[in-house]
Amino acid sequence: MKAEMIAIGNEIVFGHTINTNASLVAQQLEKIGIEMCYQSGVRDRYEDIANVLEIALKRVDLVILSGGLGPTKDDLTKEAVFEYFDEELIFNETAMQDIKNYFEHVQKTMTENNMKQALFPANCIILKNICGTASGCLYQTSDKKFVALLPGPPKELRPMLQILIDEHLKQKVEGVYLTEDIKLFGIGESEVVGIIDEFLGVFENIEIAPYVAEGCTTIRIKSFGINKEEAHTRLIPYKKSLEKCLAPYIIGNNDKQIEQLVYENLEKLGATIAVAESCTGGLLAGRLINNSGISRWLKESFVTYSNEAKSKYLGVSIESLKNYGAVSEEVAEEMARGVANATNSDIGVATTGIAGPDGGTEEKPVGLVYISVAIYDKCYTYKRLFTGERQEIRQHTVQTALYYLYKQLKRLENE
Amino acid sequence: MKAEMIAIGNEIVFGHTINTNASLVAQQLEKIGIEMCYQSGVRDRYEDIANVLEIALKRVDLVILSGGLGPTKDDLTKEAVFEYFDEELIFNETAMQDIKNYFEHVQKTMTENNMKQALFPANCIILKNICGTASGCLYQTSDKKFVALLPGPPKELRPMLQILIDEHLKQKVEGVYLTEDIKLFGIGESEVVGIIDEFLGVFENIEIAPYVAEGCTTIRIKSFGINKEEAHTRLIPYKKSLEKCLAPYIIGNNDKQIEQLVYENLEKLGATIAVAESCTGGLLAGRLINNSGISRWLKESFVTYSNEAKSKYLGVSIESLKNYGAVSEEVAEEMARGVANATNSDIGVATTGIAGPDGGTEEKPVGLVYISVAIYDKCYTYKRLFTGERQEIRQHTVQTALYYLYKQLKRLENE
């Protein structure tokens, strides 16, 4: 089954909002074997919506539209779509009840405008919105294509998409698709392609594709079978052969974020951690705290942006700061060891670098970063030179620090 | 002039990469009066690229394509686009020199593959890539439409887009467009629409549109004139009338990020600041440190995730933690005052909340957050209840804390 995603809304097309729904929908559909082939975005206009819908229906089997289901006059996705299909919008009791329940739950009063949100064509399936008032729907066209309308806000779209997939789309896909990821660190996409070249197109009903995201290269393996067992049987030996070729670079084999892998390894080791950040200024701790259970392992962390703070809280020596500068291997190591000491943690991670745009010199250019991981009695310090703007350099530093930290945790676990 | 943005690449359409270029391009074009009307995304396939290009050329005057200009076999945007236009790709000396210069600059060796990146049709303008090897180009079709090819990586696209706009597109737009934003906090979009209703469609050559981004409502005013002066003269009284109606909610009137506004006010006041974060765990400090000059005002900050850390570094009383809990007005205030004290700063900002998914109770549900701003001798504590997933709640808390902080800084400035 081939799909297209259409995002509707001036805020998307004019660029005020980044369209994150397209990515989410594509990834979730891929898991059940529906291939996203096109993305579109249009303004809140009747003729534009009808125009892109018509194009989409010519080239795919499933069209997913997001946005424009709100209670205001600007929200006209439902009106435009069903005018196109020549379907009358009538009052839907299920949708109305869902809206009423939602208002009751959040203890707010329903307005007259919300009534509009209960209008749907007679022959469609209502999709419940558990985080808002905009119900969605799934509609089948006269030539057996599917059109789903979902709300725009990601927190409303996400749970509704899951309902759509689990309760309605899954059973329309013939056979079962399994996907597995192999995440790699320390190797570029083109090198990966070189190594896995012999795997491409060799097996039937199995596909691999490398892609780069968040600073690491991932190989996604997709296996097809008439049932789960067949897809699984096909996937496993293939995956194992790939893993054998790529062993030194593998950092994980699922779609978990790197901070989640770090967290799981901290749990396994029962190791406590603290972070001392200069150029990343809190972002690394912020990523670790994405894990809701991290409080057992991370109790406190420091943003030591000034030299004084580096000495005061982490015990970085004034000599090192003077002789080598705040952005140096020596200071990074003292920071990492220092934060572990100061907080009585098993692991200390430190970042120090020149994020720019100012502050670079010929010797220490913008983008120069040191990352240090002090882990029990050992300490590993890495020097990197990143490019890009200030925010890109800082984000890249955080991501890379998480990878190095994870590598060291895995090494410990295997020892 | 009407425009369409086409993102090319499997990684975009399959959802592995979020398409941030579309937003960037739309916003930059809007500033010179080019209206983005459609967004598209397609896989790296000849026929798909030709297909969307054909559709785009029927409905807009300017098509901007991004991605697929790399040196590998998968990169076939240039090939597909110019096959469609029946233009031969020939070796371009300017492009070649740019590529050579780039390799010299980064001290790497050019590969044979990169030669492909110097192939362009004879009659196009080469757009220089200052951050990579993929030159772009601007091409005029036989019926006077424009097609621009830009690289996919945002850090390469951004500077090239600026060149494209400044050196080539600006002069093709008749007249001058000026845009100004009025950023509002503490008022919803629908309320804003109610207040500004009388302004809609009253003046000629002036447009306003409210939109919501990053937790605040912004009104974008767009004014057109035959020259800058005319557009300006038109815009100013209009903007002033709007500001009069919305005065209590205005937090800024340009496209600066809120952390930049905070930073500018810290500079004006000469005030130092420190942050103590529980649920946001470093993200708030991370946002402040987006400002490259912040080191004069922010020297250090704490992630006090545990109760012990809150007492140890901030002096939060054990009684308060026991009697009111870590997520309480009292503890938030003690944290804010405490971090200002501990770091000898003029301002202390603290966050404490239940980001979930676990840890909520009936009395203190997931999403409950306290934000406290201690500023000289005063302290303001705010209670908020956010919805969404853990990361959304944390990001929302950071954004809201920045707004409250800014409000207090502005109040001080006006006193």
Q: Give the closest-approach CA distance of A211 to chain B in angstroms.
A: 7
pLDDT interval class at A72 (50, 70, 90): confident
Listed by start position, the domains of chain A span 2-172, 176-253, 258-414
CB contact under 8 A, A39 and B43: no
Closest CA to B43 of A358, A3, A272, A73: A3
Which tokens is B3 given? 């425009």
* Neighbour tally for A149: CB within 10 Å: 27
Whether A42 contacts A13, CB under 8 Å: yes
| Strands B146-150 and B136-140, bridge-based pairing | antiparallel
From B191, which residue of chain A is nearest by alpha-carbon distance?
Answer: A72
* Neighbour tally for A2: CB within 10 Å: 12
| Nearest neighbour of B16 by CB, restricted to A213, A295, A388 | A213
B407 touches chain A (CB under 8 A): no
Q: What is the pLDDT of residue B168?
A: 97
Q: What is the pLDDT of residue A124?
A: 96
For the domain B258-414, what is the CATH code?
3.90.950.20
CB contact under 8 A, A39 and B19: yes
CB hemisphere CA count around A303 (13 angstroms): 34
CA distance A288 to A265: 12
Q: What is the pLDDT of residue A142?
A: 96
CB hemisphere CA count around A398 (13 angstroms): 24
In this structure, CATH architecture of domain A2-172: 3-Layer(aba) Sandwich (3.40)
Q: Give the closest-approach CA distance of B285 to chain A in angstroms.
A: 5
Mean pLDDT of chain A: 92
Q: What is the pLDDT of residue A201?
A: 63
In this predicted structure, the answer to whether residue A390 has a pLDDT above a threshold of 80 is yes
CA distance B79 to B120: 9
B342 touches chain A (CB under 8 A): no
Closest CA to A141 of A48, A56, A49: A56
Whether A48 contacts A14, CB under 8 Å: no
CA distance B265 to B413: 8
Q: Give B176-253's CATH code, choosing from 3.30.1950.10, 3.20.20.70, 3.40.50.970, 3.30.70.2860.
A: 3.30.70.2860
CB contact under 8 A, B275 and A303: yes
CA distance A242 to A239: 5
Question: Which tens digits make up the pLDDT trace of A307-350?
Answer: 999 999 999 999 999 999 999 999 999 999 999 999 999 999 99
Which 8-state DSSP code applies to residue A167? I
A3: amino acid identity, one letter: A
In this predicted structure, the answer to whether residue A214 has a pLDDT above a threshold of 90 is no
CB contact under 8 A, A212 and B11: yes
In this predicted structure, the answer to whether residue A204 has a pLDDT above a threshold of 80 is no
Is the predicted ipTM greater than 0.85, yes or no? no
CA distance A347 to A332: 14
Digits of tens for pLDDT over chain B (415 positions)? 999 999 999 889 999 889 999 999 999 998 888 999 999 999 999 999 999 999 999 999 999 999 999 888 888 999 999 999 999 999 999 999 999 988 888 778 888 888 899 999 999 999 999 888 999 999 999 999 999 999 999 989 999 999 999 999 998 988 888 888 898 888 877 788 788 877 766 667 888 877 777 777 888 888 889 888 999 999 998 899 899 988 888 887 776 788 999 999 999 999 999 999 999 999 999 999 999 999 999 999 999 999 999 999 999 999 999 999 999 999 999 999 999 999 999 999 999 999 999 999 999 999 999 999 999 999 999 999 988 889 989 999 999 999 999 999 988 888 8
Helix (H, G, I), strand (E, B) or coil at A377: coil
CA distance B64 to B47: 18
| Nearest neighbour of A22 by CB, restricted to B19, B288, B394 | B19
From B395, which residue of chain A is nearest by alpha-carbon distance?
Answer: A286
In this predicted structure, the answer to whether residue A287 has a pLDDT above a threshold of 90 is yes
Q: Which residues of A touch B358 (CB under 8 A)?
A: 292-293
CA distance A285 to A304: 12
**Peptide linkage before B357 cis (omega within 30 of 0):** yes
Q: Which residues of B touch A190 (CB under 8 A)?
A: 72
- Cβ within 8 Å of B, A 71-90: 72
Q: What is the pLDDT of residue A140?
A: 97
B124 touches chain A (CB under 8 A): no
Closest CA to B365 of A289, A282, A107: A107
What is the 3 state secondary structure string of B157-174? Answer: HHHHHHHHHHHHHHHHCC
CA distance A359 to B212: 35
Q: What is the pTM for the complete model shown? A: 0.83
